[in-house]
Amino acid sequence: MSEQEKISKYASPEALVTTEWLAENLDAVTVVESNEDILLYDTGHIPGAVKLDWHTELNDQVRRDYLDGEHFAKLMRSKGISRDDTIVLYGDKSNWWAAYAFWVFKLFGHQDVRLLDGGRMKWIAEGRELTTDKPSRAEGNYPEVVRKDDEIRAFRDDIAKHQPSPIIDIRSPQEYTGERLHMPDYPNEGAARAGHIPSAKNVPWGKLVKEDGSFKPLDELQTILFEETGSSPQDKFITYCRIGERSSLTWFALKYLVGVKDVRNYDGSWTEWGNLVGVPIAQGEAPGVFA
Amino acid sequence: MPDSEKLQLLLEYSENLPDVPSKYGENPELMERVEECQAPVFIAVEGNAEAVELFFSAPREAPTTRGFASVLHAALNGKTAREITDLDDDFPGQLGLENLISPLRVRGMRGMLFRIKRKTKELLDS
């Protein structure tokens, strides 16, 4: 099966592009690189790509929240991005941060956003062109749009209301069971308690991608996300991880690849839930019961 | 120093991180993984109370982490154990990178310093 055939079987094939397609369409799209590592873009990037830093640019620097419509519009204009641009996002770490940025673009209802299958790693592994030249772009045309949180973003109070619909915890098994915060003499991950939200199923994000960082084909994703979690495509889903970045990738797969209509990413994630007073927490391998 | 220059400087540090000796390159299990960093970083501490040698291994695709390692290497390699254990725990914060890079990322550097200090103490005790 060719990469293009694989993508054509997904629920929203237009949301994912191959490295080959991007190489042929570089001039027609706005390529945006979003990485965990803030310096990686500067060591070399896809020609014409714009750098977008999730931590320092998409977040409000005072409140724990994303930018509002006014500041997002300013940011987009300054990057030379316009509302009707076709945006192709890619990044390091199998696209965690690119998927995160994708999700934020969707909070602002940006219509045409796509993810580069396999991200930065696959582009480089295929020996495709990189440059350290920074693109010079004219100011973009971006209106102020109200951020819409309700459709794709979950908040802490939504967790209890969401029961008994599926919650997917995409962290490592050690984080899920709670073993991870118990290592002696090591600073913890920024949460007061270890474990998972009761009822959440553990599907480590890495199960969704192949070794080259690109997504597994539709049938394999359906097995992992539905059969193995006892869920169905008609269910409503919530995904979470530590701060919401890895779970954006699973959010993307649920919504655009296997076609779940209602899926929200809980960006508060474990760094919020693991610090909340009085909320239920389960430890060990069993999902547990939310009560 | 303007923020853009700080990032450029950190990038230069990342390019200048010395490679680890082959015994570590071939046997990464001899080094300790810094769990606080999202990129795989390994450190090793050798020497004695008079002169401590530091070794860092971090992948090329994690230049920020390499930059942190390289700054710590430049500041601490060859120093006495006392100088290392006396270094302010907030040294990473004092570099003025938290607003520029995000506190979450700088935490990885704190993790490295924490482990260097602990391993330096272990060296003194052994």
- Which tens digits make up the pLDDT trace of A196-235? 999 999 999 999 999 999 999 999 999 999 999 999 999 9
Binary contact (A37, B64; C-beta < 8 A): yes
Determine contact: B106 vs chain A, CB below 8 A.
no
Binary contact (B111, A187; C-beta < 8 A): yes
User: Are B67 and B61 contacting, i.e. CB atoms less than 8 angstroms apart?
Assistant: no
ipTM of the complex: 0.85
Residues of chain A neighbouring B60 (CB-CB closer than 8 A):
43
Q: Does the model's pTM come out above 0.90?
A: yes
**Cα end-to-end span (Å), chain B:** 42
**Among candidates A34, A37, A156, A152, which has minimal Cα distance to A103?**
A152
Q: Strands, DSSP E only, in chain B? A: 32-33, 42-47, 52-57
Residue A175 annotated as catalytic: no
Distance between CA atoms of B64 and B33, rounded to whole angstroms? 16
- A36-40, A72-76, A186-190, B56-60: which is most confident: A72-76
Distance between CA atoms of A246 and A251, rounded to whole angstroms? 9
- Confidence category of residue B86, pLDDT binned at 50, 70, 90: very high
- Tell me the Cα Rg of chain A: 19
Torsion of the alpha carbons at A61, A67, A73 and A76, rounded to the nearest 10 = 70
pLDDT of residue B4: 79
The SS3 of residue A237 is: strand
Chain-centre distance for alpha carbon B9: 16
Angle (deg, nearest 10), helices B63-76 and B103-125: 40
Within the 164-223 window of chain A, which residues sit less than 8 Å (CB to CB) from chain B? Answer: 183, 185-187, 190
pLDDT of residue A14: 98
Which amino acid belongs to residue A159? I
